[in-house]
Structure 1
Amino acid sequence: MDAIIKSFPPLQQDAPPRPERPSQAEVEAAVHTLLRWTGDNPDREGLLDTPKRVAKAYREMFGGYDQDPVEELGRTFEEVAGYDDLVLIKDIPFHSHCEHHMVPIIGRAHVGYLPDGRVVGLSKIARVVDIFAHRLQTQEAMTAQVAGTIQDVLQPRGVAVMIEAEHMCMAMRGIRKPGSTTLTSTFTGAFRDTPEEQVRFMMMVREGNRR
């Protein structure tokens, strides 16, 4: 079952200031409480180090809050031999976490842009996807954030982003429909204004996946 959502977001908006992070001890105490809430015994051998492990894992899984996607796109190249056509990075794997239930979102991102005199290193696009993925997310917001950041920083003639993902909040709980995927897409500039460019982007994304 595929759900298709198309969003046309504004570019990046200022986020409210983040509260001060709790201490390591406070985090471990919170995990200890959750373990008790599940009905298990947090003092049994297998769970003794779980609070510390969870705190360490969360620091890694949500490391995107400590990284700036704008900085990743800061270095560009103008020696492109006149190339001004579509640059497409396909099948960028990512894992994120749903901001509603804090369970995994697992998927792939496809990002394309039409350069306007300069390009960025291909790995930088993948890093932008990773930075936003390593935050609490909705898929719609993540799609908009990736597109908006690339558009703001690179100022290309257009950006196209498509994300395909499975949400564990649908697979593991609630309606329990494993295998269902959600597709979101956002277009800016020439991709938004020219349907033919949208179609070309979609065809190039799908072409390799049919082989």
Structure 2
Amino acid sequence: MNNKKISDLTEFNEEIDGYVKIDQYNVDYVDRIARHYVDILDALGENPHREGLVKTPERVAKALQYLTHGYNVDAAELLRSAMFEEEYSQMVVVKDIEVYSMCEHHMLPFFGKAHIAYIPDGHIVGLSKIPRVVDVFARRLQVQERLTNEIRDCIQETLKPAGVAVVIECKHMCMAMRGVQKQNSVTTTSAFTGSFQNDVTRSEFLRLITASLD
């Protein structure tokens, strides 16, 4: 798309019955993407001009841009914006972070949860930034394996902790809706650096993310 990024998005907020709808898309590309979806609907044997579909290409164009808006966000800068000097040196765990992403092979969703930990080495980061980092990388066309590594590497390279641990558990619609059609399968990926490569530290992390506080 020339030198212009589709992910240079403008945010649109609309309040309907107390619900705030947040949308992000580049208005310059809505028509361009929508035109292709008119052709796609036609190729699928549908009538893109019937009432139920007439606005579908535009909706898809906006939705796809929102679902891939992570390309235009600097995850490292997000972390740097909330880094603080602190002598705390024990494990920090943020678990059950919702993950929604799009498989790059079929452009079908995969979704689940991420569990992330780091051991500070002079700096901590605002806790809300950890889920934000997950979103930045998830809101791109992805494979789960790369998503796991990108989150790990971003935290390690930016925060420079004693170690980082990432575990992601997801269901993939490309497996559930097509192909092998295994609706209940879950894919788990993990990535570790530093102290988490030690069996004892890694085991403590895995125990914490599976434990219940009830």
In structure 2, the residue matched to 1:42 is 48
Does 2:66 align with 1:52?
no
1:208 and 2:212 matched: yes
Residue 113 of structure 1 corresponds to 118
1:185 equivalent among 185, 190, 213: 190
Seq. identity, %? 46
- 2:177 maps to amino acid: M
| 1:137 matches 2:142 | yes
Q: Spell out the pairing of 1:9-158 with structure 2 (5 A cutoff).
A: 21=6, 23-74=29-80, 75-78=82-85, 80=86, 82-158=87-163
Amino acid at match of 2:209: V
- Offset of residue 20 of structure 1: 5.7
User: CA RMSD of the aligned region, Å?
Assistant: 1.7
Select the residue among 176, 181, 195 that pairs with 1:171. 176
Q: 2: distance between equivalents of 1:101 and 1:45?
A: 27
Distance 2:154 2:181 in 1: 34
The runs of 5 or more residues in structure 2 that have no matched partner are 7-27
| Mapped contact 2:102–2:142 kept (Cα < 8 A) | yes
Deviation digits for residues 160-200 of structure 1, max 9, x if unmatched? 000000000000000000011000000001112x1111111
Q: How many correspondences in the alignment?
A: 191
Taking the aligned partners of 1:18 and 1:132, their CA distance within structure 2 comes to: 22
Task: Label 1:55 to 1:89 Cα distance change in 2 as closer, same or farther (>3 A).
Answer: same
Q: Is the partner of 1:70 in helix, strand or coil? A: helix
CA shift, 1:208, in A, is: 2.1
Q: Which one is further off, 29-38 or 132-141?
A: 29-38
Question: CA separation in 1, counterparts of 2:160 and 2:60?
Answer: 40
Residue 14 of structure 2 is matched in structure 1 by: none
Consecutive unaligned residues in structure 1, runs of 5 or more: 1-16
Relative contact order, higher structure (CA 8 A, sep 6+): 1
Residue 201 of structure 2 corresponds to which residue in structure 1? 197
Measure, in 1, the Cα distance between the counterparts of 2:112 and 2:74: 22
Deviates more, 1:104-113 or 1:22-31: 22-31
Q: Residues 99-155 of structure 1, C-alpha deviation per residue, up to 9 Å, x if partnerless?
A: 000000011000000000110000000000001010000000000000000000000
User: What is the TM-score when the length of structure 1 is the normalising length?
Assistant: 0.86
- Quote the offset at 1:24 in angstroms: 2.7
Distance 2:3 2:178 in 1: 29
Q: Tell me the SS of whatever aligns to 2:128.
A: helix
Structure-2-length-normalised TM-score: 0.85
SS in 2 for 1:105: strand
